[in-house]
Amino acid sequence: MAIIGTSETRTGPIRLGMVGGGKDAFIGAVHRIAARIDGEYQLVAGALSSTPQKALESGRALGLDEKRIYGSYRDMASREARLKDGIEAVAIVTPNHMHYPIAREFLKRGIHVICDKPLTSTLADARKLEKLAGESEALFVLTHNYTGYPMIRQAREMIANGDIGEIRVVQAEYAQDWLTEAAEESGSKQAAWRTDPAQSGAGGSIGDIGTHAFNLLSFVTGLQTEELAAELHRFVPGRRVDDNAHILLRFAGGARGMLWSSQVAPGCENGLKLRVFGDKGGIEWCQEEPNKLWFTPFGEPKRLITRNGAGAGAAAARVSRIPPGHPEGYLEGFANIYAEAARAIRAKQVGDKLPAEVVYPTVADGVEGLKFIDACVRSSAKNGSFVKL
């Protein structure tokens, strides 16, 4: 995660472009809403589909100037970089295999990149992208959006302050049920590309949602995963990537963990959960009740900490928008990543190095995610033997 300076200087909304996210694309709409919530961005250009007609129709539906609706991301990167009022940042919301080539075109032109996860479809591309981002003057932000939740920031702050003591055990899970049947064979575009290794990469559930759980536990605990043992399984006949995974984790310093990732768990809608236990206490958080964090000092009753409520600290407060008791959820958490990216971009523009708690997932976090996927695949191929990341 990057922590950089910030600035109150503003010169109007950041001019934003988008690649992917056209008609009927779920995550593109989420990114656009998240970018709008705090008024930090204005969408001014897009290459919203690889199909030119669909790209045009999608751009028109969003009210874009037709001169800035592009049929290809290469044309968009080339022209926008030459315009006086060209885009300052681009959101990439395409299938995984396109993240690297698209990001490359914008980074080499100095345009900031905000990219959906996972970073790429292969570890090799992830490492190439990390090198490219390191050489670019532009920022790279990866939208592991669950790190934007206020109570996740609260949990991270509490662990860093030693409230649960030395970490011993970490339990993370992300369970869904939408791929319980072969949705990829019934016309679902989202299911089709997510279960196609040429587009998603070698990981199925571990790439789509397991990387979220892995990133979240790493962000909250600060632990470095050294080894893992994974059993990946395909329950749906004919499916080419995993739809369920059980993973054992060994962390530097001796802590141990388990991660369950599944998209074939009936009754589970978006069941991302995290539990962390130390020698002095434990914490529990559930994405479906994101404004609540349970804290249990050893030998004492459970304590409920709520967003902006009594006991919540500064880390949660700085990414909260409204008073306690008014729910904030998925879109606001996602918007917090965009808001952090905006602070980083503005600081970069004015050369501001003042210390501040601006935190967002970086390309390095993305590489860790691909190392996680790669290690899971290698371990599973060795009958679940432990392998190094």
Structure confidence by residue, pLDDT tens digits, 104-151: 999 999 999 999 999 999 999 999 999 999 999 999 999 999 999 999
Q: What is the pLDDT of residues 144-175, one digit of tens each?
A: 999 999 999 999 999 999 999 999 999 999 99
Q: What pLDDT score does 242 carry?
A: 98
Strands (E), the chain: 2-4, 14-20, 41-47, 89-93, 112-115, 140-142, 167-175, 225-233, 244-251, 256-262, 271-278, 281-286, 292-297, 303-306, 358-360, 387-388
In angstroms, the CA 60 to CA 51 distance is 14
Pair type for strands 112-115 and 140-142: parallel
Q: Which domains does the chain have, with CATH numbers?
A: 2-146+343-356 (3.40.50.720), 150-314+367-388 (3.30.360.10)
Q: Once rounded to an integer, what is the mean pLDDT over residues 216-239? A: 98
Q: Could you tell me the sign of the dihedral formed by the alpha carbons of 151, 157, 161, 162, in that order?
A: positive
- Model confidence at 5, pLDDT cuts 50, 70, 90, reads very low
Q: What pLDDT score does 8 carry?
A: 46
In angstroms, the CA 59 to CA 155 distance is 40
Query: Which phi and psi (to 5°) does residue 13 adopt?
Result: -60, 150
Instruction: Indicate the pTM of the whole model.
Output: 0.95
Q: What is the pLDDT of residues 233-250, one digit of tens each?
A: 999 999 999 999 999 999
Tell me: pLDDT of 351 over 90.
no
Q: What pLDDT score does 355 carry?
A: 38
- Model confidence at 7, pLDDT cuts 50, 70, 90, reads very low
8 A C-beta contact, residue 47 and residue 94:
no
- Model confidence at 349, pLDDT cuts 50, 70, 90, reads confident
Q: What is the pLDDT of residues 305-336, one digit of tens each?
A: 999 999 999 999 999 999 999 999 999 999 99
Percentage of the chain modeled with pLDDT above 90: 93
Question: In the structure encoding, which two tokens stand for residue 90, read together?
Answer: 């681009």
Q: What is the pLDDT of residues 22-80, one digit of tens each?
A: 988 899 999 999 999 999 999 999 999 999 999 999 999 999 999 999 999 999 999 99
In angstroms, the CA 370 to CA 202 distance is 10
* Coil vs helix vs strand at 357: coil
Mean residue pLDDT of the chain comes to: 95
Q: What pLDDT score does 353 carry?
A: 61
